[in-house]
Structure 1
Amino acid sequence: MIPCIVTAAGLSRRFEGNKLLFKYHDRPLIAQTINNIAESKKIGKIIVVTGYMNKEIEDAVIKYVRDERLVFVYNPSYQEGMSSSVKKGVEALISKKERIDGVMVNPGDAAWIHPFIYDLVVDVFYRHRPVIAVASYNGRRGHPIIFSSSLISDLASIDESTRGLKKVLEKYSNSILQIETRYPGVILDFDSYLDYIRVKNALMR
């Protein structure tokens, strides 16, 4: 089983309002992201780590997504950065004591990553069993990322002060399987309204 940790705790400092509640395809960004992940039946538990405006985020997801795999975890240290949310999600997985083959990490604002991308990355991970598998477009790495279960201790000890997940990726740089998706959505960021326009333009090409 490969559970997915969705980071949805940030302050959205560069966006006017909470970007995860911004409407995308007539629903909040976070709801669309979770819906796309939930449409992939190859993913196990969906651990949504909340922090800033946690109640509003949970309500936005529950209103649009009904899935028994959904688990909400609150990160009281969300102001410390994304690393704290990944760690909180890993802690939740460890506490469940379920057998897992890997851990997928995906940002809550990636509403344009289609379900087939999640299926593809999971399938390739199981086929080749790399230490890390990451979706890419034209050679650029993006999301989602799957970390082998052998890296649980690494994920549980990341910190923003030591570059978080980037440090793990650098440590195992020789063991990363890059999966070319031919889909630009895997590398698109969403931090401002201008990014929203850029995302729309990129996906319309």
Structure 2
Amino acid sequence: MNAPVVGLIILAAGASTRMGTPKQLLLYQGRSFLRHTAEIAIASLCQPIVVVLGANAERIKPEVNLLPVQIVENPQWAEGMSSSIRVGIEALSNLNQNIEAVAIALCDQPFISSPLLNQIVEAYQVTRRPIIASEYAGSLGVPALFSHALFPELMSLKTTQGAKQIIKKYSPEVFRIPFPEGAIDIDTPKDYQEFQAIADESLQSRTGI
């Protein structure tokens, strides 16, 4: 059985108003959040990869413009995540007509990993469920995969909520992948400070320093 072609969209168009500085450029393990997420995507089974930029695009672009990803800009980024998903799916469809599914990831979930993305793709390959979603903090969210059959619904999203409403709509059919670290949401300087403390602790426990 041929492996399904699964594209990946990294949503990185937001203005980070609560952070006060583009969170795409915040540092984690010596790299920006966006570069970290893009490198993890490149090392996964997902291909092709589209990065959707919007606010501060010119400042952020140098982080990924030498990587094997397609960068697209969403002029309507202020309308919210739904508009970036539309732009991402259009770009993926132009890159490869045979895409069977799309995975969607955010650049401010620093604990995302290539094995997690691979687990999501493999779950789709085995179960053929229309949605494979990450489960954390008692809810379902991204990174999540959507089969080609749901592209029209993803393209017609109108709210700022993004893909979560589609996950909710089809929740009985969703295959869940545990990702407890997905609950770490970085929106404010305080969130970032708390995250850095968790990341340092995690690094120390891994390295024994």
SS in 2 for 1:3: strand
Residue 90 of structure 1: aligned partner? 89
Selected match of 2:184 from 185, 188, 201: 188
Check 1:169–1:142 CA distance in 2 against 1; reply closer, same or farther (3 A cut): closer
Question: Take 1:191 and 1:137, find their aligned partners in 2: how far apart are those partners?
Answer: 17
Selected match of 2:21 from 17, 33, 39: 17
**Counterpart residue identity of residue 6, structure 1:** I
Q: Is residue 50 of structure 2 the alignment partner of residue 54 of structure 1?
A: no
Q: Is the 2:140–2:167 Cα contact (8 Å) retained in structure 1?
A: no
Choose 129-138 or 42-51, whichever is displaced more: 129-138
Question: Take 1:95 and 1:123, find their aligned partners in 2: how far apart are those partners?
Answer: 24
**Counterpart residue identity of residue 142, structure 2:** H
What does 1:146-161 align with in structure 2 at a 5 Å threshold?
146-160=145-159
**Counterpart residue identity of residue 134, structure 1:** A
Q: Is the 2:133–2:167 Cα contact (8 Å) retained in structure 1?
A: no
SS in 1 for 2:64: helix
**Counterpart residue identity of residue 39, structure 1:** A
Deviations 1:162-183 (A, max 9, x none): x4423212221221111124xx
Residue 142 of structure 1, CA deviation: 3.6
Check 1:201–1:137 CA distance in 2 against 1; reply closer, same or farther (3 A cut): farther
**Which runs of 5 or more structure 1 residues have no equivalent in the other structure?**
none
CA RMSD of aligned residues (A): 1.9
SS in 2 for 1:106: strand
What does 1:109-128 align with in structure 2 at a 5 Å threshold?
109-128=108-127
**Which runs of 5 or more structure 2 residues have no equivalent in the other structure?**
203-209
Residue 72 of structure 1: aligned partner? 71
Question: Take 1:202 and 1:102, find their aligned partners in 2: how far apart are those partners?
Answer: 33
Selected match of 2:166 from 165, 168, 180: 168
Q: Is the 2:65–2:71 Cα contact (8 Å) retained in structure 1?
A: no
Question: Take 2:15 and 2:182, find their aligned partners in 1: how far apart are those partners?
Answer: 22
SS in 2 for 1:99: coil
Count of matched residue pairs: 197
Question: Take 1:92 and 1:128, find their aligned partners in 2: how far apart are those partners?
Answer: 27
Deviations 1:16-39 (A, max 9, x none): 211111122112111111111111
